[in-house]
């Protein structure tokens, strides 16, 4: 309950500094829900891929003169 509210708050903080809050998510599941865990990991990885590099990473690359092609 508290954790969910704190994650919502953390999403607001991220949004304040220009980071898409969709990059943070909370899921409720037990240690016995392995397949569900794998499914969530796959979905979340896909979501992050679609969102692309974080604006912080892009800003750091820009400052250091690194090209997009060199980004890892």
Partner 1 sequence: MIVGKQKPFEEIWDMIKNFKKVLVFGCNTCVAICHAGGGKEAEILASMLRMKAYQEGVEMEVKHAAIERHCEPEFFDPVMEDVKTNDVVLSTACGVGVNFLAERIGDIPVFPGINTQFFGAVPKAGVFVELCAGCGNCVLHLTGGICPVARCAKSLMNGPCGGTNNGKCEISQDVDCAWYLILERMTKLGTLEKLSEIKPPRDWSTGIYGGPRRIVLEHIADVEAQEEKKES
Q: Which of 3, 63, 67, 68 contacts partner 1 by CB under 8 A?
A: 63
Q: Cα separation of 3 and 60, whole Å?
A: 31
Residue 68 is classified by DSSP as: G
Q: Which of 7, 26, 55, 71 contacts partner 1 by CB under 8 A?
A: 55
Count of residues that bind partner 1 according to CB under 8 A: 11
Q: Are 56 and 19 in contact (CB under 8 A)?
A: yes
Q: Which of 16, 28, 30, 69 contacts partner 1 by CB under 8 A?
A: 16
Among 1, 42, 2, 47, which Cα is nearest to 24's? 47
Contacts with partner 1 by CB under 8 A lie at 13, 16-19, 55-56, 59-60, 62-63
């Amino acid at each position: 309950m508290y954790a969910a509210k704190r994650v919502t708050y953390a999403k607001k903080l991220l949004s304040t500094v220009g980071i898409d809050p969709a990059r943070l998510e909370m899921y409720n599941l037990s240690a016995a829900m392995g397949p569900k865990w794998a499914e969530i990991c796959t979905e979340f990885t896909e979501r992050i891929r679609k969102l692309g590099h974080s604006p912080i990473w892009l800003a750091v690359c820009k400052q250091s003169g690194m090209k997009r092609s060199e980004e890892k």
